Amino acid sequence: MFNCIVASPITRAKLLIGALLLSAATTFTVADETVPAATDPAKEERLPLRELRLFTQVFEQIRRGYVEEVKDTELLENAIAGLLLELDPHSAYLNETDYDELQEAATGEYGGLGLEVGAERGLIKIISPIDGSPAAQAGIEPGDLITEVDGIAVRSMAPQKAIDKLRGEKGTSIVLQVLREGEDKPLEFTIVRDIIQISAVRSHLLEPGYGYVRVSQFQNTSGSDFKKALAGLYTPGSPLKGIIVDLRNNPGGLVPAAVEMADAVLESGTVVYTEGRLPSSNSRFRATPGDVIRGVPMVVLINGGSASASEIVAGALQDHKRAAVLGTQSFGKGSVQTVIPLGDGRAIKLTTARYFTPNGRSIQAEGITPDIIVEPAEIRPYEKSKTVREADLEGHLEQAAHEDSESSPVDDAQINDNQLYEALNVLKGFQLLSRDRNSQSEPGSPQN
């Protein structure tokens, strides 16, 4: 017959520390009996008894003498966080809230209303409702100002706390009071939350034949979303001439999504490989046959905010000479973090490997060096004085009839973004140099 003892938090803490001390003492005995630690550092005890005793002393002094009472469980949680904090900038302890936010960022899904919002004069301003979202279906419009959330004045809360209240589990309802320009009194909306899916990939045509794909982070679906974006840029009768992939200020995310993105435009070869202490940390990711845009020239934009998975994509396409990399030196985060759940809603994020580009370059603390370095700069058109041209001369010959060219003016947004402007010029240069080849085999039709 066994007795079941329910220990208090203090007792549990002491039992844990006692178990560590016993483990340390056991390890000491084994180490001392086999080989002296001084002659074989590799077999030194893994739990040094002296330091563990020091830990218990500090733990007890804080518990008994700190100016404010601190729970034993909180002290132990802080100690766990400290273990990871001193390893490197990316290893971390994740409490339940941190872990939920990490999973949300990875999936791009959250329970909420589907609103892009900001703070204005102590209220929540609606920038835009997501198409098809509960907020859009309820009639929320851009420019609306939320003054109350479930009867609580927004101004009585911190801005971020008020915004956080908009989120919640699918199926739960929320009541919003809204000010709208042109309305005499506030409007009230009761909205039922749903699962909102946010894609980190956006795309559009800059000019006929020249596509732009912006990837803001690497989520679960970013690889497939990237391929859909490429397919959406193609229109029959107007083949793609070039693609710009914008990875500037992309902090990274999931490695499999980065591999899938690079694989979409590579025919074969290594995309990235990792090396670590555990066998599972040593992996090589290879491209599968098939370039979905059939060799269409590409430029990848990076800067100092491009990190981790962004550098995997840029490095792979650069090493395989599949794209020209333009911009400024990337961040240089060449390490892989593994998220290890602890089984109670918490987890640790532990650096387990370094990753290398196909040519064996480690970009840890180094980054990706662009093929074409273009610093961000302000562009202003040069005002020229009026000059006389042939068309101004009296009796000039008329222009011969010809077909209109496909060229179109560059919009102001592109001119203000000098790196994007230069990337577009590079693609046009590629097109000019390969015109003869392109006339023989028309690229730009995505493969199924």
Instruction: Just list the catalytic residues.
Output: 308, 319, 333
- Do residues 248 and 305 lie in contact, with contact meaning Cβ atoms separated by under 8 Å? yes
Distance CA(347)–CA(382), nearest Å, equals 56
Locus of tokens 């941190």: 98
Q: Which helix (H) or strand (E) holds 299?
A: strand 298-302
Geometric angle at alpha carbon 60, from 54 and 65, rounded to 5°: 125
Torsion angle of alpha carbons 291, 295, 298, 302, nearest 10°? Answer: 40
In sequence order, the 6+-apart residues with CB closer than 8 A to the CB of 196 are: 109, 110, 111, 112, 113, 114, 130, 133
Where on the phi/psi map is residue 29: left (φ > 0), alpha (ψ -120 to 50), or beta?
alpha
Distance CA(145)–CA(308), nearest Å, equals 37
In sequence order, the 6+-apart residues with CB closer than 8 A to the CB of 73 are: 9, 13
* Beta-ladder partners of 110: 196
Could you tell me how many residues make up the chain? 448
| CA atoms 86, 87, 88, 91: torsion sign | negative
Distance CA(52)–CA(20), nearest Å, equals 8
Q: What does each C-alpha distance from 419 to 73, 129, 326, 373 come to in angstroms?
A: 51, 30, 8, 9
Distance CA(261)–CA(271), nearest Å, equals 10
Distance CA(137)–CA(131), nearest Å, equals 8
Locus of tokens 């008994």: 64
